[in-house]
Amino acid sequence: MDSNFQKGCVLIIGGSGGIGSLCAQEFAQSNAKVAITYYKNEQAAIDIANEIDADVKIYQLDNSNAQSVEETFKEVIKDYGCINTLVNAAGFDIPQKFISEIDIDLWQGVINSDINGFFNLIKSGLPYLRESKGSIVFISSAGLFKYPPGDILSVAPKATIEHVLKGIAKEEGKNGIRANSIALGVIDTGIFHRLREENNTFFDDAWHEAVMNTLAIKRFGFPKEVADTAVFLASSKAGYITGHCIPVDGGYHL
Q: What is the dihedral of CA 108, 18, 59, 107, to 10 degrees?
A: 0
Q: Please give the pLDDT value at position 192.
A: 59
CB count in 10 Å sphere of residue 225: 15
116, 165 contact by CB (below 8 A): no
Query: Is 25 part of a structural domain of the chain?
Result: yes
In the three-class reduction of DSSP (H, G, I as helix; E, B as strand; rest coil), residue 129 is classed as: helix
Query: Is 43 part of a structural domain of the chain?
Result: yes
Taking the C-alpha atoms of residue 23 and residue 19, their distance in angstroms, rounded to an integer, is: 6
Q: Which residues pair with 187 in a beta bridge?
A: 221
Query: Is 33 part of a structural domain of the chain?
Result: yes
**How far is C-alpha 129 from the geometric centre of its chain's CA atoms?**
17
Query: Is 10 part of a structural domain of the chain?
Result: yes
Taking the C-alpha atoms of residue 207 and residue 228, their distance in angstroms, rounded to an integer, is: 28
Query: Is 253 part of a structural domain of the chain?
Result: no
Query: Is 195 part of a structural domain of the chain?
Result: yes
Tally the domains of the chain.
Answer: 1
Reading the chain (254 residues) residue by residue, the pLDDT tens digits are: 788 899 999 999 999 988 999 999 999 999 999 999 999 999 999 999 999 977 899 999 999 999 999 999 999 999 999 999 999 999 777 888 999 999 999 999 999 999 999 999 999 999 999 999 999 999 999 989 999 888 999 999 999 999 999 999 999 999 999 999 999 998 887 555 566 566 555 666 777 787 788 889 989 899 999 999 999 999 999 999 999 999 999 998 88
Taking the C-alpha atoms of residue 17 and residue 61, their distance in angstroms, rounded to an integer, is: 13
Q: Please give the pLDDT value at position 234.
A: 98
In the three-class reduction of DSSP (H, G, I as helix; E, B as strand; rest coil), residue 106 is classed as: helix
176, 126 contact by CB (below 8 A): no
Taking the C-alpha atoms of residue 234 and residue 240, their distance in angstroms, rounded to an integer, is: 11
- Report the CATH number that the domain containing residue 36 is assigned in CATH: 3.40.50.720
* pTM, entire model: 0.92
Q: Which run of H or of E encompasses 122?
A: helix 117-132
Range of the domain at 125: 3-248
Letter string b/e over residues 102-116, b meaning 16 or more CB atoms within 10 A of that residue's CB: eeeeeeeebbebbbb
Taking the C-alpha atoms of residue 42 and residue 15, their distance in angstroms, rounded to an integer, is: 11
Query: Is 254 part of a structural domain of the chain?
Result: no
Query: Is 108 part of a structural domain of the chain?
Result: yes
